[in-house]
Amino acid sequence: MNRLQAWWIIHTTPAQDRVIYALMHGHGYALDIARHARLNIGRVYATLFQLERLEVVTGAFEEAPAPGRLARRVYTVVPFLTSTLAHPVNSPRAQRYAQALAALDG
């Protein structure tokens, strides 16, 4: 984990939280993330760009798109974040985020 990633874990925005939550639940395409996170597509792309710059998320084009379709970009969470979120910090802020993000599934 680099210093930028460590800083990100402490200083996240609500949009970043929602996008990460959607990615952690198997939504790898921007449009799927927008639907799951209930954000507009412009906010999703801006957030994904920020998260890629912070090296928290990686994006790559599909290897074999459907015939007649352009390759879509698939986003994934980097392994360090997956393991970090699997063992969350037990703090009031972390608990509020967990409750807010769980409400999105509701």
Q: Which residues of the chain have pLDDT under 50?
A: none
Closest CA to 50 of 80, 7, 105, 1: 7
In this prediction, residue 10 carries a pLDDT of 61
Provide the angle, in degrees to the nearest 10, between the axes of the packed helices 14-24 and 92-105. 60
In this prediction, residue 40 carries a pLDDT of 95
In this prediction, residue 94 carries a pLDDT of 59
Cβ atoms of residues 40 and 30 within 8 Å: no
In this prediction, residue 77 carries a pLDDT of 86
**13-105: what fold?**
Arc Repressor Mutant, subunit A (1.10.10)
Q: Where are the domains of the chain?
A: 13-105
pTM of the model: 0.68
